């Protein structure tokens, strides 16, 4: 075969195109794309959920495409008729946006084997919750010998200059604001008392992180010693040797449901359903509850154990006493106004 410059060029371009658009080269087998969250969530889903799904569907193809909720919404919105994602995963705020913008398909509840076993808070025909994320107090046990017990402890004078919070861009920051508002007589509809409380916290605040992930760095660098924090994020930090501990405050830990949704107009509704069924099953949720994943289950058939039983709740009945679920429908109504207000008022 003669190698001309032209033929070399053609092959090079073809190779490049295959790299850029992998869809060209792959056979058009039926497969689904699951947009999970990045980091430890992806790891957990790849290790536990995907094998369970493949077993249930006799090795159907699945692609994990980890991305933020907002990116999922953006991608599906951009191609509604032929969405690049088949199953979405959302925190409560973005979930309502996705449902509101008509991007999701209602979950076929009647066909589901596990839906009825979910605790009431996790049941939602627009998309059931496959796990809870919980927010409580995190602190550095090397610096703070007596574990904090209440959100109120953040205002203690001995923590002056050592408190970290996040701004309202995150679910965590927003949930925290609502919770301290509630402590001071407010609610999801009225966070005025919460803003006043943060105002009073200002002298203690050492850092306002722009995202929850940054709190980890700040703990590690000794910039902060106490802050509101996500249970799962803390476990990752602990595993990496950072001196942090998590406690659920006596006012109850804040719980967010993370919901899973079939994307409207997906070409593989049955496979999407199979994936969600696997995610709801007690087998998968039970395995994900164990170390190192420590993901809080929503299926009542899962017996709580390990670190979760110790720190968060003994069983699903206990969850109701230990967790507070916030009304994100109400929160979403005013969230942009709060973010604006936070921008304006909270300058440390």
Is residue 122 at the binding interface for other proteins, with CB under 8 A as the rule? no
What span, in angstroms and rounded, lies between the C-alpha atoms of 306 and 315? 11
Q: Please pick, from the candidates 214, 290, 307, 324, the single residue that binds other proteins as defined by CB under 8 A.
A: 214
Is residue 161 at the binding interface for other proteins, with CB under 8 A as the rule? yes
Identity of the residue, 166 or 285, whose beta carbon is nearer to other proteins in the bound complex: 166
Segment contacting other proteins (CB under 8 A): 2-10, 219-227, 281-289, 295-303? 219-227
CB-count exposure of residue 155 (10 Å: 0-12, 13-18, 19+): middle
Segment contacting other proteins (CB under 8 A): 150-158, 165-173, 242-250, 285-293? 165-173
The answer to whether the CB of 41 falls within 8 A of the CB of 258 is: no
Identity of the residue, 15 or 70, whose beta carbon is nearer to other proteins in the bound complex: 70
Is residue 201 at the binding interface for other proteins, with CB under 8 A as the rule? no
Is residue 211 at the binding interface for other proteins, with CB under 8 A as the rule? yes
Identity of the residue, 119 or 244, whose beta carbon is nearer to other proteins in the bound complex: 244
Segment contacting other proteins (CB under 8 A): 58-66, 81-89, 185-193, 337-345? 337-345
Q: Which residue has the tokens 């930090």?
A: 237
Asked if omega into 292 is within 30° of 0 (cis), the reply is yes
Identity of the residue, 163 or 302, whose beta carbon is nearer to other proteins in the bound complex: 163
The least CB distance from residue 224 to other proteins, in Å, is 8
* Of residues 96, 98, 248, the one with CA closest to residue 179: 248
CB-count exposure of residue 1 (10 Å: 0-12, 13-18, 19+): exposed
Locate 23 and state its tokens: 């869809």
DSSP letters of 183-233?
HTT-BTTB-HHHHHHHHHHGGGEEEEESSHHHHHHHHHTTS-SEEEEEHHH
Q: Please pick, from the candidates 73, 144, 280, 304, the single residue that binds other proteins as defined by CB under 8 A.
A: 73
CA distances 30 to 52, 154, 217, 260, 325, Å, are 18, 52, 42, 20, 38
CA 304 to chain centre: 20
The least CB distance from residue 78 to other proteins, in Å, is 11
The least CB distance from residue 169 to other proteins, in Å, is 5
The answer to whether the CB of 287 falls within 8 A of the CB of 44 is: no
Q: Please pick, from the candidates 7, 19, 291, 343, the single residue that binds other proteins as defined by CB under 8 A.
A: 343
Identity of the residue, 159 or 323, whose beta carbon is nearer to other proteins in the bound complex: 159
Of residues 167-196, those binding other proteins (CB under 8 A): 167-169
Interface with other proteins (CB under 8 A): 68, 70, 73, 97, 161, 166-169, 206-211, 214, 217, 221-223, 335-336, 339-340, 343-344, 346-348
């Amino acid at each position: 075969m003669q190698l001309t410059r032209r033929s070399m060029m053609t092959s090079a371009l073809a190779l490049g195109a295959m790299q850029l658009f992998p869809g060209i080269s792959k056979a058009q087998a039926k497969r689904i794309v699951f947009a999970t969250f990045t980091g430890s969530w992806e790891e957990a889903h790849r290790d536990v959920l995907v094998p369970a799904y493949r077993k249930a569907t006799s090795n159907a193809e699945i692609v994990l495409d980890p991305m933020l909720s907002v990116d999922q919404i953006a991608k599906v919105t951009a191609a509604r008729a032929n969405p690049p994602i088949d199953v979405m995963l959302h925190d409560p705020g973005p979930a309502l946006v996705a449902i509101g913008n008509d991007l999701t398909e209602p979950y076929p509840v009647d066909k589901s084997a596990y839906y009825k076993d979910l605790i009431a808070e996790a049941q939602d025909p627009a998309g059931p919750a496959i796990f809870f994320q919980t927010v409580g107090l995190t602190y550095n046990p090397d610096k703070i010998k007596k574990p904090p017990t209440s959100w109120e402890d953040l205002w203690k004078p001995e923590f002056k200059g050592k408190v970290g919070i996040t701004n309202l861009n995150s679910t965590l920051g927003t949930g925290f604001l609502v919770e301290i508002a509630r402590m001071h007589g407010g609610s999801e509809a009225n966070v005025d008392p919460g803003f006043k409380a943060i105002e009073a916290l200002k002298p203690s605040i050492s850092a306002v992180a722009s995202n929850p992930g940054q709190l980890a760095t700040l703990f590690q660098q000794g910039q902060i010693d106490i802050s509101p924090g996500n249970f799962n994020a803390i476990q990752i930090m602990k595993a990496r040797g950072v001196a942090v501990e998590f406690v659920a405050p006596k006012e109850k830990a804040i719980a967010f449901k993370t919901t899973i949704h079939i994307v409207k107009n997906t070409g593989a509704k049955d496979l999407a359903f199979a994936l969600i069924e696997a995610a709801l099953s007690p087998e998968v949720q039970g395995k994900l509850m164990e170390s190192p994943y420590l993901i809080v289950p929503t299926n009542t058939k899962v017996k709580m154990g390990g670190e979760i039983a110790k720190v968060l709740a003994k069983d699903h009945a206990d969850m109701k006493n230990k967790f507070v679920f916030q009304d994100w429908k109400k929160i979403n109504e005013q969230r942009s106004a709060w973010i604006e207000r936070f921008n304006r008022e909270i300058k440390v």
